[in-house]
Protein backbone atom coordinates (compact mmCIF):
# COMPACT_ATOMS: atom_id res chain seq x y z
CA UNK A 1 0.00 0.00 0.00
CA UNK A 2 1.46 3.34 -1.08
CA UNK A 3 2.11 5.93 1.58
CA UNK A 4 0.43 9.34 1.07
CA UNK A 5 2.64 12.05 -0.33
CA UNK A 6 3.54 15.09 1.84
CA UNK A 7 0.80 17.35 0.47
CA UNK A 8 -1.84 14.62 0.89
CA UNK A 9 -0.69 14.01 4.48
CA UNK A 10 -0.93 17.71 5.31
CA UNK A 11 -4.42 17.93 3.78
CA UNK A 12 -5.54 14.88 5.77
CA UNK A 13 -4.05 16.29 8.97
CA UNK A 14 -5.72 19.68 8.41
CA UNK A 15 -9.06 17.97 7.78
CA UNK A 16 -8.78 16.11 11.11
CA UNK A 17 -7.91 19.33 12.96
CA UNK A 18 -10.83 21.11 11.28
CA UNK A 19 -13.24 18.39 12.39
CA UNK A 20 -11.92 18.54 15.97
CA UNK A 21 -12.27 22.32 16.03
CA UNK A 22 -15.81 22.13 14.68
CA UNK A 23 -16.74 19.57 17.33
CA UNK A 24 -15.33 21.81 20.09
CA UNK A 25 -17.31 24.78 18.75
CA UNK A 26 -20.45 22.62 18.47
CA UNK A 27 -20.12 21.48 22.09
CA UNK A 28 -19.51 25.04 23.25
CA UNK A 29 -22.63 26.21 21.43
CA UNK A 30 -24.66 23.50 23.14
CA UNK A 31 -23.88 25.05 26.54
CA UNK A 32 -26.28 27.64 27.90
CA UNK A 33 -24.47 30.98 28.11
CA UNK A 34 -25.12 32.69 31.46
CA UNK A 35 -23.97 36.05 32.79
CA UNK A 36 -24.26 36.91 36.48
CA UNK A 37 -24.13 40.60 37.37
CA UNK A 38 -23.22 41.14 41.03
CA UNK A 39 -21.64 43.83 43.21
CA UNK A 40 -18.23 42.69 44.54
CA UNK A 41 -15.89 39.69 44.70
CA UNK A 42 -17.26 38.44 48.01
CA UNK A 43 -15.40 35.45 49.49
CA UNK A 44 -18.61 33.54 50.17
CA UNK A 45 -19.72 33.80 46.52
CA UNK A 46 -16.55 32.35 45.01
CA UNK A 47 -17.31 28.73 46.09
CA UNK A 48 -20.88 29.11 44.77
CA UNK A 49 -19.78 30.40 41.37
CA UNK A 50 -17.06 27.73 41.19
CA UNK A 51 -19.73 25.07 41.79
CA UNK A 52 -22.03 26.64 39.18
CA UNK A 53 -19.21 26.74 36.63
CA UNK A 54 -18.78 22.98 37.07
CA UNK A 55 -22.28 22.36 35.68
CA UNK A 56 -21.51 20.75 32.33
CA UNK A 57 -24.47 22.35 30.53
CA UNK A 58 -23.61 25.92 31.54
CA UNK A 59 -21.12 28.46 30.18
CA UNK A 60 -20.74 30.96 33.05
CA UNK A 61 -19.35 34.48 33.00
CA UNK A 62 -19.56 36.83 36.02
CA UNK A 63 -19.57 40.63 35.83
CA UNK A 64 -18.49 42.26 39.10
CA UNK A 65 -19.44 45.91 39.53
CA UNK A 66 -16.39 46.44 41.77
CA UNK A 67 -13.64 44.41 43.38
CA UNK A 68 -14.70 45.36 46.91
CA UNK A 69 -16.20 48.13 49.05
CA UNK A 70 -13.35 49.24 51.31
CA UNK A 71 -15.55 51.63 53.29
CA UNK A 72 -17.70 48.76 54.59
CA UNK A 73 -15.68 45.57 54.16
CA UNK A 74 -12.08 44.60 54.76
CA UNK A 75 -12.32 41.17 53.15
CA UNK A 76 -9.21 39.82 51.50
CA UNK A 77 -9.84 39.04 47.82
CA UNK A 78 -8.92 35.40 47.15
CA UNK A 79 -8.54 35.71 43.37
CA UNK A 80 -6.39 32.56 43.29
CA UNK A 81 -9.47 30.51 44.25
CA UNK A 82 -11.59 31.71 41.32
CA UNK A 83 -12.35 28.94 38.80
CA UNK A 84 -14.84 30.76 36.58
CA UNK A 85 -14.72 33.38 33.84
CA UNK A 86 -15.15 36.92 35.14
CA UNK A 87 -14.36 40.59 34.71
CA UNK A 88 -14.53 43.66 36.94
CA UNK A 89 -16.34 46.60 35.37
CA UNK A 90 -14.93 50.13 35.63
CA UNK A 91 -16.74 51.83 38.50
CA UNK A 92 -17.14 54.93 40.63
CA UNK A 93 -18.54 54.79 44.17
CA UNK A 94 -20.03 57.69 46.09
CA UNK A 95 -21.16 57.37 49.70
CA UNK A 96 -22.81 59.77 52.16
CA UNK A 97 -23.71 58.30 55.54
CA UNK A 98 -25.68 55.08 55.08
CA UNK A 99 -26.52 55.84 51.46
CA UNK A 100 -24.27 55.09 48.56
CA UNK A 101 -24.26 54.95 44.78
CA UNK A 102 -22.15 52.62 42.65
CA UNK A 103 -21.97 53.67 39.01
CA UNK A 104 -20.45 51.48 36.30
CA UNK A 105 -19.19 52.06 32.78
CA UNK A 106 -19.23 49.44 30.03
CA UNK A 107 -22.16 47.43 31.37
CA UNK A 108 -23.82 47.20 27.97
CA UNK A 109 -20.60 46.49 25.99
CA UNK A 110 -19.76 43.72 28.48
CA UNK A 111 -23.19 42.15 28.02
CA UNK A 112 -22.93 42.47 24.23
CA UNK A 113 -19.52 40.79 24.26
CA UNK A 114 -20.71 37.94 26.47
CA UNK A 115 -23.92 37.44 24.43
CA UNK A 116 -25.79 35.56 27.19
CA UNK A 117 -28.96 33.54 26.82
CA UNK A 118 -29.76 34.24 30.48
CA UNK A 119 -28.78 37.19 32.68
CA UNK A 120 -28.91 36.74 36.46
CA UNK A 121 -28.90 40.08 38.25
CA UNK A 122 -28.01 40.33 41.94
CA UNK A 123 -30.45 42.95 43.18
CA UNK A 124 -32.28 45.96 41.80
CA UNK A 125 -30.62 48.82 43.68
CA UNK A 126 -27.79 49.68 41.26
CA UNK A 127 -27.88 51.67 38.00
CA UNK A 128 -26.15 48.66 36.39
CA UNK A 129 -29.08 46.45 37.44
CA UNK A 130 -31.55 48.63 35.55
CA UNK A 131 -29.28 48.97 32.51
CA UNK A 132 -28.92 45.19 32.31
CA UNK A 133 -32.71 44.77 32.68
CA UNK A 134 -33.42 47.17 29.81
CA UNK A 135 -30.69 45.54 27.71
CA UNK A 136 -32.22 42.12 28.32
CA UNK A 137 -35.71 43.28 27.37
CA UNK A 138 -34.47 44.84 24.12
CA UNK A 139 -32.53 41.70 23.20
CA UNK A 140 -35.29 39.34 24.40
CA UNK A 141 -32.79 37.69 26.74
CA UNK A 142 -34.19 35.84 29.73
CA UNK A 143 -33.70 37.90 32.88
CA UNK A 144 -33.53 36.40 36.39
CA UNK A 145 -33.51 38.49 39.57
CA UNK A 146 -31.41 37.09 42.45
CA UNK A 147 -32.60 38.89 45.58
CA UNK A 148 -32.29 38.56 49.37
CA UNK A 149 -34.69 41.40 50.24
CA UNK A 150 -37.43 40.65 52.73
CA UNK A 151 -40.42 42.49 54.15
CA UNK A 152 -38.74 43.04 57.52
CA UNK A 153 -35.77 44.79 55.91
CA UNK A 154 -35.59 48.46 56.94
CA UNK A 155 -35.08 49.35 53.30
CA UNK A 156 -38.59 48.14 52.42
CA UNK A 157 -41.85 50.01 53.01
CA UNK A 158 -41.12 53.28 51.19
CA UNK A 159 -43.89 53.91 48.66
CA UNK A 160 -41.69 55.15 45.80
CA UNK A 161 -39.09 52.45 46.32
CA UNK A 162 -41.77 49.74 46.53
CA UNK A 163 -43.27 50.93 43.22
CA UNK A 164 -39.86 50.68 41.52
CA UNK A 165 -39.37 47.21 42.97
CA UNK A 166 -42.75 46.08 41.65
CA UNK A 167 -41.87 47.43 38.18
CA UNK A 168 -38.55 45.59 38.25
CA UNK A 169 -40.18 42.36 39.42
CA UNK A 170 -42.87 42.53 36.71
CA UNK A 171 -40.09 42.84 34.11
CA UNK A 172 -38.26 39.66 35.18
CA UNK A 173 -38.77 36.14 33.86
CA UNK A 174 -37.76 34.28 37.03
CA UNK A 175 -36.30 34.75 40.48
CA UNK A 176 -33.67 33.24 42.77
CA UNK A 177 -34.06 33.64 46.55
CA UNK A 178 -32.03 32.30 49.50
CA UNK A 179 -34.98 31.30 51.67
CA UNK A 180 -38.53 31.68 52.98
CA UNK A 181 -38.59 35.37 53.91
CA UNK A 182 -37.31 36.50 50.51
CA UNK A 183 -39.82 34.27 48.73
CA UNK A 184 -42.68 35.75 50.78
CA UNK A 185 -41.56 39.28 49.95
CA UNK A 186 -41.36 38.55 46.21
CA UNK A 187 -44.88 37.12 46.29
CA UNK A 188 -46.07 40.35 47.92
CA UNK A 189 -44.36 42.32 45.13
CA UNK A 190 -46.34 40.37 42.54
CA UNK A 191 -44.04 37.51 41.49
CA UNK A 192 -45.56 34.12 40.64
CA UNK A 193 -44.58 31.31 42.98
CA UNK A 194 -43.85 28.86 40.13
CA UNK A 195 -40.99 31.01 38.79
CA UNK A 196 -39.28 31.53 42.18
CA UNK A 197 -36.34 29.17 42.76
CA UNK A 198 -34.56 28.68 46.08
CA UNK A 199 -30.76 28.75 46.11
CA UNK A 200 -29.90 28.54 49.82
CA UNK A 201 -27.34 31.11 50.90
CA UNK A 202 -24.07 29.36 51.60
CA UNK A 203 -20.48 29.67 52.69
CA UNK A 204 -17.67 27.15 52.31
CA UNK A 205 -18.82 24.89 55.16
CA UNK A 206 -15.87 22.55 54.74
CA UNK A 207 -13.35 25.37 55.09
CA UNK A 208 -14.89 26.75 58.28
CA UNK A 209 -15.35 23.33 59.88
CA UNK A 210 -11.78 22.27 59.04
CA UNK A 211 -10.26 25.57 60.16
CA UNK A 212 -12.22 25.43 63.42
CA UNK A 213 -10.79 21.99 64.17
CA UNK A 214 -7.28 23.28 63.51
CA UNK A 215 -7.77 26.12 65.99
CA UNK A 216 -9.20 23.80 68.64
CA UNK A 217 -6.02 21.72 68.39
CA UNK A 218 -3.98 24.80 69.41
CA UNK A 219 -6.64 26.51 71.50
CA UNK A 220 -4.40 28.04 74.18
CA UNK A 221 -2.09 29.62 71.57
CA UNK A 222 -4.97 31.17 69.63
CA UNK A 223 -6.76 32.31 72.77
CA UNK A 224 -3.59 33.98 74.03
CA UNK A 225 -2.89 35.56 70.63
CA UNK A 226 -6.27 37.37 70.56
CA UNK A 227 -6.49 37.81 74.37
CA UNK A 228 -9.79 35.94 74.55
CA UNK A 229 -11.62 35.09 77.78
CA UNK A 230 -11.81 31.45 78.90
CA UNK A 231 -15.54 31.51 78.07
CA UNK A 232 -17.32 33.97 75.80
CA UNK A 233 -20.26 34.65 73.53
CA UNK A 234 -19.51 36.19 70.15
CA UNK A 235 -20.75 38.90 67.84
CA UNK A 236 -19.17 39.02 64.36
CA UNK A 237 -19.88 41.79 61.89
CA UNK A 238 -19.77 45.53 61.31
CA UNK A 239 -19.82 47.60 64.49
CA UNK A 240 -22.73 49.86 63.58
CA UNK A 241 -26.00 50.51 65.46
CA UNK A 242 -28.17 48.69 62.90
CA UNK A 243 -26.46 45.42 63.81
CA UNK A 244 -27.87 45.66 67.34
CA UNK A 245 -24.47 45.90 69.01
CA UNK A 246 -25.64 48.31 71.72
CA UNK A 247 -28.62 46.05 72.46
CA UNK A 248 -26.18 43.17 72.90
CA UNK A 249 -23.94 45.16 75.24
CA UNK A 250 -26.99 46.15 77.30
CA UNK A 251 -28.19 42.54 77.37
CA UNK A 252 -24.78 41.41 78.61
CA UNK A 253 -24.88 44.06 81.35
CA UNK A 254 -28.23 42.65 82.52
CA UNK A 255 -26.71 39.22 83.20
CA UNK A 256 -26.15 38.32 86.85
CA UNK A 257 -22.77 39.62 88.03
CA UNK A 258 -21.40 36.20 88.89
CA UNK A 259 -22.19 34.96 85.41
CA UNK A 260 -20.42 37.95 83.85
CA UNK A 261 -17.31 37.04 85.85
CA UNK A 262 -17.32 33.65 84.13
CA UNK A 263 -18.47 34.55 80.61
CA UNK A 264 -17.12 37.36 78.46
CA UNK A 265 -18.45 39.10 75.36
CA UNK A 266 -16.37 39.41 72.19
CA UNK A 267 -17.14 41.87 69.37
CA UNK A 268 -15.21 40.73 66.27
CA UNK A 269 -15.28 43.41 63.59
CA UNK A 270 -14.86 47.10 63.02
CA UNK A 271 -17.03 50.07 62.21
CA UNK A 272 -18.00 53.65 63.01
CA UNK A 273 -19.44 52.73 66.44
CA UNK A 274 -16.43 50.85 67.75
CA UNK A 275 -15.05 53.68 69.90
CA UNK A 276 -18.45 54.46 71.44
CA UNK A 277 -19.04 50.75 72.10
CA UNK A 278 -15.65 50.39 73.79
CA UNK A 279 -16.33 53.37 76.05
CA UNK A 280 -19.69 51.98 77.14
CA UNK A 281 -18.19 48.54 77.70
CA UNK A 282 -15.72 49.96 80.24
CA UNK A 283 -18.63 50.84 82.52
CA UNK A 284 -19.72 47.21 82.87
CA UNK A 285 -18.38 45.74 86.13
CA UNK A 286 -17.87 42.87 86.62
CA UNK A 287 -17.48 41.50 83.12
CA UNK A 288 -15.06 41.17 80.22
CA UNK A 289 -15.73 42.74 76.82
CA UNK A 290 -13.10 42.22 74.10
CA UNK A 291 -12.53 43.87 70.72
CA UNK A 292 -10.08 41.80 68.63
CA UNK A 293 -10.85 43.90 65.53
CA UNK A 294 -11.72 42.79 62.02
CA UNK A 295 -11.00 39.10 61.49
CA UNK A 296 -10.27 37.47 58.15
CA UNK A 297 -11.96 34.12 57.59
CA UNK A 298 -9.14 32.02 59.10
CA UNK A 299 -9.22 33.87 62.44
CA UNK A 300 -12.99 34.17 62.29
CA UNK A 301 -13.28 30.39 62.16
CA UNK A 302 -11.07 30.28 65.25
CA UNK A 303 -13.37 32.65 67.11
CA UNK A 304 -16.36 30.49 66.19
CA UNK A 305 -14.46 27.40 67.34
CA UNK A 306 -13.92 28.74 70.86
CA UNK A 307 -17.15 30.69 71.42
CA UNK A 308 -20.16 29.27 73.27
CA UNK A 309 -22.62 30.86 70.88
CA UNK A 310 -23.03 33.47 68.14
CA UNK A 311 -25.38 36.40 68.72
CA UNK A 312 -26.74 38.42 65.77
CA UNK A 313 -29.22 40.94 67.26
CA UNK A 314 -29.56 42.88 64.00
CA UNK A 315 -32.28 45.48 63.41
CA UNK A 316 -32.32 44.72 59.67
CA UNK A 317 -30.42 42.16 57.62
CA UNK A 318 -31.30 40.53 54.27
CA UNK A 319 -29.66 37.31 55.50
CA UNK A 320 -26.70 37.21 57.91
CA UNK A 321 -24.02 34.90 56.53
CA UNK A 322 -22.07 34.95 59.80
CA UNK A 323 -24.81 32.58 61.00
CA UNK A 324 -23.90 30.11 58.24
CA UNK A 325 -20.23 30.37 59.16
CA UNK A 326 -20.86 29.87 62.86
CA UNK A 327 -23.16 26.88 62.26
CA UNK A 328 -20.50 25.26 60.06
CA UNK A 329 -18.26 25.47 63.15
CA UNK A 330 -20.99 23.94 65.33
CA UNK A 331 -22.24 27.00 67.21
CA UNK A 332 -25.67 27.58 68.78
CA UNK A 333 -27.26 30.77 67.41
CA UNK A 334 -29.16 33.66 68.96
CA UNK A 335 -30.63 35.84 66.21
CA UNK A 336 -33.27 38.56 65.91
CA UNK A 337 -36.37 37.60 63.96
CA UNK A 338 -35.77 40.29 61.29
CA UNK A 339 -32.64 38.56 59.96
CA UNK A 340 -33.41 36.86 56.66
CA UNK A 341 -31.73 33.65 57.78
CA UNK A 342 -33.88 33.26 60.92
CA UNK A 343 -36.77 31.41 59.24
CA UNK A 344 -34.50 28.93 57.46
CA UNK A 345 -31.57 28.29 59.78
CA UNK A 346 -32.57 28.86 63.41
CA UNK A 347 -35.23 26.85 65.20
CA UNK A 348 -36.28 28.08 68.62
CA UNK A 349 -34.94 25.82 71.35
CA UNK A 350 -33.47 23.34 68.83
CA UNK A 351 -30.28 25.00 67.63
CA UNK A 352 -30.71 28.44 69.16
CA UNK A 353 -33.10 31.21 70.09
CA UNK A 354 -34.98 33.79 68.01
CA UNK A 355 -35.68 37.14 69.72
CA UNK A 356 -37.32 40.43 68.71
CA UNK A 357 -34.95 43.20 67.58
CA UNK A 358 -34.14 46.03 70.02
CA UNK A 359 -35.28 43.98 73.01
CA UNK A 360 -32.28 43.72 75.35
CA UNK A 361 -34.35 42.03 78.06
CA UNK A 362 -35.35 39.03 75.95
CA UNK A 363 -31.89 38.93 74.44
CA UNK A 364 -30.36 38.74 77.91
CA UNK A 365 -32.72 35.91 78.89
CA UNK A 366 -31.68 33.93 75.78
CA UNK A 367 -27.96 34.46 76.50
CA UNK A 368 -28.46 33.43 80.13
CA UNK A 369 -30.22 30.21 79.10
CA UNK A 370 -27.49 29.35 76.61
CA UNK A 371 -24.42 29.90 78.79
CA UNK A 372 -25.87 28.25 81.92
CA UNK A 373 -26.76 24.92 80.27
CA UNK A 374 -23.80 22.99 78.81
CA UNK A 375 -25.99 20.04 77.79
CA UNK A 376 -28.32 22.34 75.89
CA UNK A 377 -25.37 24.02 74.15
CA UNK A 378 -24.01 20.64 73.11
CA UNK A 379 -27.33 19.57 71.59
CA UNK A 380 -27.77 22.89 69.83
CA UNK A 381 -24.22 22.70 68.52
CA UNK A 382 -24.88 19.29 66.94
CA UNK A 383 -28.18 20.51 65.46
CA UNK A 384 -26.55 23.60 63.91
CA UNK A 385 -23.86 21.47 62.30
CA UNK A 386 -26.52 19.07 61.01
CA UNK A 387 -28.75 21.77 59.50
CA UNK A 388 -26.05 23.75 57.73
CA UNK A 389 -25.12 20.78 55.52
CA UNK A 390 -28.12 21.52 53.29
CA UNK A 391 -26.86 25.10 52.82
CA UNK A 392 -23.74 24.29 50.82
CA UNK A 393 -22.21 26.09 47.81
CA UNK A 394 -23.27 23.12 45.68
CA UNK A 395 -26.89 23.39 46.86
CA UNK A 396 -26.89 27.12 46.11
CA UNK A 397 -25.42 26.50 42.65
CA UNK A 398 -28.05 23.81 41.96
CA UNK A 399 -30.82 26.27 42.84
CA UNK A 400 -29.41 28.86 40.43
CA UNK A 401 -29.03 26.19 37.75
CA UNK A 402 -32.70 25.22 38.24
CA UNK A 403 -33.74 28.83 37.62
CA UNK A 404 -31.66 28.84 34.44
CA UNK A 405 -33.05 25.48 33.28
CA UNK A 406 -36.58 26.78 33.73
CA UNK A 407 -36.14 29.03 30.70
CA UNK A 408 -34.03 26.95 28.34
CA UNK A 409 -36.98 25.41 26.54
CA UNK A 410 -37.44 26.83 23.12
CA UNK A 411 -34.16 28.74 23.09
pLDDT of residue 97: 64
List Cβ neighbours of 50 (8 Å cut-off, separation of 6 or more).
81, 82, 83, 84, 393
Three-state SS string over 320-348 comes to CHHHHHHHHCCCCEEEECCECCHHHHCCE
Query: Residue 179 above 70 pLDDT?
Result: yes
Average pLDDT, integer, range 68-75? 79
Give the E-state strand segments of 161-213 in sequence order: 174-177, 196-198
pLDDT of residue 36: 98
pTM above 0.85, yes or no: yes
pLDDT of residue 354: 98
Nearest C-alpha neighbor of 149 from the set 174, 175, 119, 118: 175
Query: Residue 75 above 50 pLDDT?
Result: yes
List Cβ neighbours of 144 (8 Å cut-off, separation of 6 or more).
118, 119, 120, 121, 172, 173, 174, 175, 176, 403, 404, 407
9-18, 35-44, 105-114, 187-196: least confident range: 9-18
pLDDT of residue 410: 35
pLDDT confidence band for 338 (50 / 70 / 90): very high
pLDDT of residue 409: 41
Task: Please report which helix (H) or strand (E) contains residue 87, including its range.
Answer: strand 85-88
The neighbouring-strand residues paired with 339 are 317
pLDDT confidence band for 24 (50 / 70 / 90): very low
Longest dimension (CA), the chain: 99
Query: Which one is predicted more confidently, 76 or 376?
Result: 376
For the segment 155-165, what is each residue's pLDDT rounded down to a tens digit?
555 778 899 99
Q: Mind listing the domains of the chain with CATH numbers?
A: 23-202+393-405 (3.40.50.2000), 205-388 (3.40.50.2000)
> Strand, coil or helix: what is 367?
helix
Amino acid sequence: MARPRGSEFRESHEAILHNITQNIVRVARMKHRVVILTEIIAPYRIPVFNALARHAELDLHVLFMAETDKALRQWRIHADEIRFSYEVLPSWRWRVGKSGVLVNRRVVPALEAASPQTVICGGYNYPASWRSLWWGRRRQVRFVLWTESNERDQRSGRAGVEWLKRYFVRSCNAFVVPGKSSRAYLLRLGASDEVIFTAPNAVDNCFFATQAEKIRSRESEFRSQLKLPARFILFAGRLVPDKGIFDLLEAYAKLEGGLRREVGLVFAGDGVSRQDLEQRAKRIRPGTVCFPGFAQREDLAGLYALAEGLVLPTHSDPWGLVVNEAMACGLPIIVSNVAGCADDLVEEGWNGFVVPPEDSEKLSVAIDALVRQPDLRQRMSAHSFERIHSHSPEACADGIAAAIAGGKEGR
